[in-house]
Amino acid sequence: MPTTAAQAPAPRPTRAQRRAAGKPHPARSFFTVAAVAALVATVAVPAAFSAAGSTPAEAAVTTVQQLAADNAQSLVVASEATPAALARGGYAATTPEEIQAKKDEEAAAAAAKAAAAARVAAAAAASADSSSYTGAIAETIAPAGSVVRPLTSFNNFGTPYAGHKGIDYMADRGTPLYSIADGVVVASDEDGPGWGVYVKIAHNIGGQSVTSLYAHMLYGSRRVTVGQTVSAGQLIGQVSDTGRAFGTHLHLEIYVNGSWVDAESWLVANVG
Ligand SMILES: [Zn+2]
């Protein structure tokens, strides 16, 4: 028995000591029990709520996954959450087969779109600080038609020199800038490395990956965003002197299959 074991040790407190020490014990014990009970209640109540709430939540998650899955039979299982999902999607289909077909179609389209966007974004990020674009242009960008000049008029242009991979076309502030060909915008930024406001466009020209970069543009003049498809001659912004520039001009860089080319010579050979 516990009492026998408690009485056995020699240094046990006397009855008086226990009485003296024992006075506050009932109260302490009560508060201790109350505190523990409160703790248990605090923990137990939300746990009970979450336990009760977890079942429909898990069912809803499972239902969404099932709706996205290829297996049409899972839709039959997920009958309860289906009306809500359909209401959100606004589908006109009525049979489970029709619903599943639309879901599959939409999921496939969304996945393809997301994958394409991810490829462009990854390639754009990888080449954000360099002039050329390293994405797989020929496979992802529609072939371009004719090539045009980025400026309809300019005063003169500078020749490239060491460390300067571009041609500087002197033009007045605000002069319109145009895409040299059909393509996809892979960079569009207000604060490029030395370029200031710039736009970079990837093209598929004759099966070659061509990148055109337009720098020192006017603040707030950009008309295109990354991922946007543009046409030859489409307005993309205006000339200025943002970034490292002395005087308003267009700094144009052109890369073919990742290698820099003399932009003016390339335009002369390709425009028209
Ligand atoms: Zn320049």
Measured in Å, residue 217 CA sits from the centre of ligand 1 at 12
Measured in Å, residue 46 CA sits from the centre of ligand 1 at 65
Same domain, 69 and 159: no
| The model scores a pTM over 0.75 | no
CA dihedral 11, 16, 18, 23 (to 10 degrees): -160
Q: What's the pLDDT band for 160 if we cut at 50, 70, 90?
A: confident
Whether the CB-CB separation of 232 and 182 falls below 8 Å is answered with yes
| DSSP 3-state of 187 | strand
In this prediction, residue 27 carries a pLDDT of 45
140-169 in b/e form (b: 16+ CB < 10 A) is ebeebeebbbbbeebeebeebeeeebbbbb
d(CA 44, CA 174): 69
Measured in Å, residue 104 CA sits from the centre of ligand 1 at 50
Same domain, 116 and 197: no
CA dihedral 201, 203, 208, 210 (to 10 degrees): -20
Mean pLDDT of 160-187: 92
Q: How many CB atoms lie within 10 A of CB 122?
A: 12
Measured in Å, residue 182 CA sits from the centre of ligand 1 at 23
Q: How many CB atoms lie within 10 A of CB 227?
A: 14
Measured in Å, residue 33 CA sits from the centre of ligand 1 at 80
| DSSP 3-state of 143 | strand
Q: Is 70 exceeded by the pLDDT of residue 70?
A: no
Same domain, 119 and 195: no
Measured in Å, residue 143 CA sits from the centre of ligand 1 at 28
In this prediction, residue 161 carries a pLDDT of 79
Mean pLDDT of 194-214: 94
Same domain, 120 and 146: no
Measured in Å, residue 162 CA sits from the centre of ligand 1 at 11
Look at residues 146, 132, 149, 131 and name the one whose alpha carbon lies nearest to residue 267. Answer: 149
Q: Is 80 exceeded by the pLDDT of residue 89?
A: no
Q: Is 90 exceeded by the pLDDT of residue 217?
A: yes
Q: Is 70 exceeded by the pLDDT of residue 162?
A: yes
Classify residue 142: in a domain, yes or no: yes
Same domain, 96 and 150: no
Mean pLDDT of 172-179: 98
The residue that leads in pLDDT, 59 or 125, is 125
Domain around 119: 13-126
Tens-digit pLDDT profile for residues 1-54: 444 444 444 455 555 454 554 444 444 444 444 444 444 444 443 433 333 333
Same domain, 146 and 247: yes
Tens-digit pLDDT profile for residues 240-269: 999 999 899 999 999 998 899 999 999 999
Measured in Å, residue 55 CA sits from the centre of ligand 1 at 63
* Residues above pLDDT 90, as percent of the chain: 39
Question: What total of structural domains would you count in the chain?
Answer: 2
Classify residue 33: in a domain, yes or no: yes
Q: Is 60 exceeded by the pLDDT of residue 156?
A: yes
Whether the CB-CB separation of 210 and 255 falls below 8 Å is answered with yes
Tens-digit pLDDT profile for residues 114-138: 666 666 666 665 555 577 776 656 5
| Mean model confidence pLDDT for the chain | 73
Same domain, 121 and 167: no
In this prediction, residue 131 carries a pLDDT of 72
Q: What's the pLDDT band for 165 if we cut at 50, 70, 90?
A: confident
Measured in Å, residue 176 CA sits from the centre of ligand 1 at 17
Same domain, 144 and 108: no
Measured in Å, residue 161 CA sits from the centre of ligand 1 at 9
In this prediction, residue 13 carries a pLDDT of 53
Classify residue 2: in a domain, yes or no: no
In this prediction, residue 112 carries a pLDDT of 76
Q: Phi and psi at residue 14, in whole multiples of 5°?
A: -75, 170
In this prediction, residue 136 carries a pLDDT of 59
Tens-digit pLDDT profile for residues 92-106: 667 888 888 888 998
Same domain, 18 and 121: yes
Mean pLDDT of 210-236: 96
Measure Cα distances from 160 to 181, 227, 234 in Å.
22, 29, 26
